[in-house]
Amino acid sequence: MIKINSNYLKLQGSYLFSEIARLVKEYQEKNRDKKIIRLGIGDVTEPLPQSIVGAIKKAADEMGVRESFKGYRSDEGYEFLREKIKNHDFSSRGINIDIDEIFISTGAKEDVANIQEILSADSKIAITDPVYPVYIDSNVMAGRTGDFKNGRFENVCYLDCLESNNYIPDLPKEKVDLIYLCFPNNPTGQVATKEILKKWVNYAKENKSLIIYDAAYEAFITDPSIPKSIFEIEGAKEVAIEFRSLSKTAGFTGVRLSYVIVPKESRAFDENGVAHSLNKLWNRRQSTKFNGVAYIIQRAGEVVFTKEGREEVDKIIKYYLGNAKIIGEGIKKLGIRYSGGVNAPYVWLKTPNNLSSWDFFNKLLSECQVVGTPGVGFGKCGEGYFRLSSFGKREDVEEAIDRIQKLSL
Ligand code: PLP
């Protein structure tokens, strides 16, 4: 008898954003005359820069000519792209990363989920709360957690990110093996200083743990004192793997291109305590289960690391950061406390009058037709909080803030 992976039965409800989409659709069907402004889902809204579109067209043409046609190629990605990433993202910041430590892939979502495969199923995980839901759900699927009880999965070390600790989690009180960190953070918009990351690197060294560092939003960091990579911290290469994506950096959410940095020094241990290179294991995993990203898309990605492409991409990042500023300043005028909005595309706010996250969601949807994301959807500690995203048209963001300001809160 074929059996299911019963860990899937532990998963909770429908995915947060599907639930929001359902509620918004239901509301719109009943209120066809109302214009809804969506600042909920973290999807980009600006079109691809022209230099990237040009590269896609050119590469598509190459594929139609015998001499330049490409079939299967290296699973880790083309050297032309990895070389540019190495220079642009790392060498320029004094970080020494070799191109065979860079693995090109189709998205940070799948990368952060897939990486667990090379790690022991009984690894004890530490996850922030609130959190990008993929970290926890993918570990549930892999059987690393117990059942869901009182709003949390058993056998997980939750790292509370609260207003009182400025959304920077304390080090775990217990010994953990695998730690998920994301800065700039989704959903809180918080960033980590070098001192904070140093503490985590030291913890990982002392406890022989591994840090999964999600830097999907690094392009939004404008403060030069904030690290863009965990590898800016001495010794981090031994204890961390970094995940990057062009989704938010360059509008690739529908194009799909990401990259994982697995340093040769990064290690995990076998049952006898012998260290093994994670770079080798990840290479082995990818060459078995992945046949690389489309040539056309890698050519598109390459442009992001050229002067022309970067200028266009930076303009878009500035535009979103401008939106974030409008959201932050707008809600501040209402006396609402918030984090993020600078160095990050998200604003994480305390709901007024201690409304629950979903009550505030319903209030905004029904009274001013603005859609945000209920904080509790990101974890228990998100209850009473709400996320507004800066991905949207400027005039929509301005109108949304204007509408919220006119509400009686
Ligand atoms: N990591 C974080 C923290 C995210 O918020 C997201 C998307 O919203 C992703 C990863 C997924 O990125 P990608 O589009 O590269 O799969």
pLDDT at 151 over 90: no
Centroid of ligand 1 to alpha carbon of 277 (angstroms): 26
Ligand 1 atom with the smallest distance to the CA of 109 is 16
Report which ligand 1 atom has the smallest distance to the Cα of 252. 14
* pLDDT value of position 178: 98
Q: Which residues pair with 102 in a beta bridge?
A: 261
Reading phi first (left if > 0) and then psi (alpha if -120 to 50, else beta), residue 343 is in: left
Q: Please give the pLDDT value at position 56.
A: 98
Instruction: Check residue 63 and report its DSSP letter.
Output: H
Which CA distances in Å does 275 have to 75, 115, 149, 265, 283? 25, 17, 35, 10, 16
To test the pocket of ligand 1, the residue of 134, 218, 258 to mutate (highest count of ligand atoms within 8 Å of its CB) is 134
H or E element at residue 103: strand 102-105
Confidence of residue 18 (pLDDT cuts 50, 70, 90): confident
Looking at the predicted structure, is the pLDDT value of residue 106 above 80?
A: yes
Give the Cα separation of 269 and 132 in Å (integer).
27
Which residues approach ligand 1 with their CB closer than 6 A?
A: 42, 107-109, 132, 182, 186, 214, 216, 245, 247, 253, 258
Is the pLDDT assigned to residue 13 strictly greater than 80?
A: no
- pLDDT for 278 equals 98
Give pLDDT, residue 42.
87
Among protein residues, the one whose CA lies closest to atom 12 of ligand 1: 108
Provide, rounded to the nearest whole percent, the portion of the chain with pLDDT above 70: 100
Q: Is the pLDDT of residue 101 over 90?
A: yes
User: How deeply is 305 buried, as exposed, middle or buried, from its count of CB atoms within 10 A (0-12, 13-18, 19+)?
Assistant: buried
pLDDT in tens, 333-359: 999 999 999 999 999 999 999 999 999
356 φ, ψ (degrees, to nearest 5): -70, 160
Tell me what the pLDDT averaged over the chain comes to: 96
* pLDDT of 111: 98
Of the candidates 71, 72, 75, which has an alpha carbon nearest to the alpha carbon of residue 288?
A: 75
With 80 as the cut, is the pLDDT of residue 14 above it?
no
φ/ψ (deg, to 5) at 180: -100, 120
What tokens were used for 326?
């409008």
What is the tens place of the pLDDT at every residue in 286-335?
Answer: 999 999 999 999 999 999 999 999 999 999 999 999 999 999 999 999 99
Predicted confidence at residue 387, as pLDDT, reads 98
Q: How confident is the model at residue 223 (pLDDT cuts 50, 70, 90)?
A: very high
Domains of the chain: 6-47+309-405 (3.90.1150.10), 53-306 (3.40.640.10)
Q: What percent of the chain has pLDDT over 90?
A: 96
